[in-house]
A and B are shown apart, each in its own frame.
Chain A
Amino acid sequence: MNRFLPRALLAPAVVTLFLWMIVPLLMTIYFSVIRYNLMQPGEVGFIGLENYQYFLTDPSFGTAIVNTLMLLASVIAITVIGGVALALLIDEPFPGRALVRVLLISPFFVMPTVNALLWKHMMMNPIYGVFAQVSRFLGVQPVDWMTDLPLFSVILMVAWQWLPFATLIFVTALQSMNREQLEAARMDGATYLQQLRYLYVPHLGRSIAVVIMIEMIFLMSIFAEIYTTTGGGPGDASTNLAFLIFKQALLNFDAGVASAGALLAIVLANIVAIFLIRMIGKNLD
């Protein structure tokens, strides 16, 4: 086998991905240092770091960073903890287990726009929504979710979508548990907490890492859920970095400022990526 063939086979993927990365990146860098408003195509000129200054000093920027991280951390925490609990619950056979699996995975296949509208209207509407009706039935004042708890509402929707995914990964991982070891621990009188601490959680370590990695990839750029429900508001209460850049680009038509923001988002993503690659580098070899 010559050395040419393997490279030739690799080339299409590497070249297309490289172009997919480098062309937008160079364009973004260029746009970020010029005056570039999509509505005023005539006024173009070099303005140095003004766009960055504008984006960084915009009070929305800090809020967006905090919201992005809050969203990331909350959803990961909910799905990992909830997923492990659910996986342990359905790990051993019980009547209807196959059907439970099918029903549980369903939210994962629901597209983000449907997910968002379903929750916004049918679940969380303060008058006709299911939550409001249940609240009134219990004699509690219904919550106006989109206005009073916008970020939490988005977190809830996204977590609903990803919890099934985490659960099924953990269920798959639990199937390879050493049953004899478990049996032996039970014989020796290990409490459930001890079994959890010394047997289950260590066994799940690798799959927890995988779930965190995959969720980070997708949660960094949550967009449709915000776009279709809160529109980032009220104010900036549920604006994450992705949505803030979108607002600058396609609502304010300021491609220059949006590009500066995009570069900052890329830097942030790379920081997270380095952290992740270290983590999975250990876990995937």
Chain B
Amino acid sequence: MATAPGLSPALIVRTVIAWLVTLVIFFPLGWLVLTAFKTELQAISVPPQLFFTPTLDNFVEVERRSDYLLYAKNSLITSVVSTLLGLAIALPAAYSMAFFRNRWTRDLLMWMLSTKMMPAVGALVPIYVLAQTAGLLDTRTALIIVFTLSNLPIMVWMLYSHMRDIPHEILEAARMDGATLWQEFRRVLLPLAMGGLFSTGLLCLVLAWNEAFWALNLTAAKAGTLAALIASYSSPEGLFWAKLSCASLMAIAPIVVFGWFSQRQLVQGLTFGAVK
């Protein structure tokens, strides 16, 4: 029981089980990290090697072979710009819906969410043709537009559910005191909505960074993101597990570490405020 101090048998059992399950779930990732520091021979040795002299050769090789930095730059630019752009469009909309509710608000929200339920593949041919016509195939611009639009419903929803919890009286009080609309927004609303803005931005950053469908279908060598780069390692040209692991590690490390630090806000945000 939680209140009982010290190590009761029940607590020991629970601790052991919890750690075992966690290690099993985390194992594939841990294995990926280990393999990234092995030589190709060590990576496929039978039985597998747990202890070995780590090497950094893979990192050099991956950068030399596939221009990791270019893909990383594409990932960074597309995810950051699409997130900022999305926030800029979603924030006013969420504000409007949270503080000027009318009988259409609910239907509007449901409609927005329903656009997210359209499978992306349903729009593949038209978007591909449009991008081709506009000369935007394999450009970051195309990815930014698509990421922004496909994350927009989620952003509006999340921001709306955060803002709904802000008491109207605070804004009215500011208005009474003669604050202009801009001051009201800047000095009162923004500080209160900061948490929501933050967690929404985080989530969309993660979603855009990891997005693979559009990245695979709309880009090639110029504007490809890390998600697309990794897919190119799936070609059956021998077993380059150490290099694959190394490239994978470099692709996921920034966002996983980022996620560790922000997991609480992220999870809370993703529940659309329905779970407190």
Contacts and interface: CB of A to CB of B under 8 A. Distances in A.
B21 A89 contact: yes
Given A10-B92, A12-B93, A90-B18, A24 B127 contact: yes
A28 B213 contact: no
Given A95-B15, A172-B267, A228-B234, A13 B256 contact: no
Interface in A228-285: 228-229, 241-242, 245-246, 249-250, 255, 258-259, 262-263, 265-266, 269-270, 272-273, 276-277, 280-281, 283-284
Given A10-B97, A104-B22, A133-B48, A206 B259 contact: no
A5 B227 CA distance: 40
B117 A100 contact: no
Contact of B122 (A97, A160, A245): A245
A89 B25 CA distance: 14
Contacts of B126: 23-24, 27-28, 31
Contact of A107 (B29, B48, B99, B245): B29
Nearest to A132: B46
A278 B180 CA distance: 40
Interface residues of A, number: 103
Interface string A93-116: 111110011111111111111101
A17 to B, nearest CB: 6
Contacts of B255: 109, 111
Contacts of A7: 96
Nearest to A267: B122
Interface in A198-231: 206-207, 209-210, 214, 216-217, 220-221, 223-224, 227-229
A14 interface: yes
Contacts of A78: none
A66 interface: no
A30 to B, nearest CB: 9
A137 B46 CA distance: 11
Interface of B is mostly: helix
21 contacts: A1-B100, A12-B89, A12-B93, A24-B123, A27-B126, A27-B129, A28-B122, A100-B22, A103-B23, A117-B244, A121-B241, A137-B47, A169-B271, A207-B274, A217-B117, A220-B117, A224-B216, A228-B234, A262-B119, A263-B122, A266-B122
Which 3 A-B pairs have CB atoms at the shortest separation, nearest pair first? A13-B93, A224-B212, A6-B100
Interface of A: 1, 5-7, 9-10, 12-14, 16-17, 20-21, 23-25, 27-28, 31, 86, 89-90, 92-97, 100-114, 116-123, 127-128, 130, 133, 137, 160, 163-165, 168-169, 172-173, 176, 186, 206-207, 209-210, 214, 216-217, 220-221, 223-224, 227-229, 241-242, 245-246, 249-250, 255, 258-259, 262-263, 265-266, 269-270, 272-273, 276-277, 280-281, 283-284
